Amino acid sequence: FSTCRRALHPHLQPKAAEAYQPLLMSHAKNLVLEILDDPHNFQNHVITFSSMTMMKVAYGTTTPTSATDPLVKEMYQLMKVVSKLLLPDAHYLVDSIPWLKHIHWYGRELKWGFERSKRLHTGQLNRVKDDVDIGPSFTRFMLENSDHYGLMEVEITFLSAAFFGAGSDTVRCFRCVRR
């Protein structure tokens, strides 16, 4: 845990936010224009802003991303599942009866969710690895400095996903205030 925190720390400091300012200003300008053009679709505009911004920062993606993009929808759906799992009152029977983890049919949904999440986020990581022209991103930085932090590729995969999720959740909180 402390290794992951140490890896995330430099990217979440106020000085790091300064580096993101031109990107944020550009996307914010587009957000305002989209809201002015179609104010009734406010939530989708905010999700598009959040997705485009965090996909660029986390994965270096420069292609336009929208709230209706299947990848974005799946990432948000997985974030909802993880959020429910992390709630303080989220208890599973296996927590009380540990031997259930040895029964093959128990926990299928959790295993399926993990595999789905791993496949999705590994795909993002592989895209960053394969695309030499992709710009700077958190994932590229982590791949280039994996020896320094002592992280395995699967850890970088989920750390990048957490980075994306954290940024997206921040914007979702803004949406809650708007309602």
pLDDT digits (tens, 9 = 90+) for 52-109: 888 889 998 877 777 778 888 888 888 887 777 777 776 677 777 888 888 888 778 7
**Domain ranges, ordered by start, for the chain:** 2-178
Does the structure show a pLDDT above 60 at 176?
A: no
Least confident of 10-14, 20-24, 94-98: 94-98
What is the fold of 2-178?
Cytochrome p450 (1.10.630)
pLDDT of residue 165: 84
What span, in angstroms and rounded, lies between the C-alpha atoms of 146 and 51? 25
3-state class of 137 per DSSP? Answer: coil
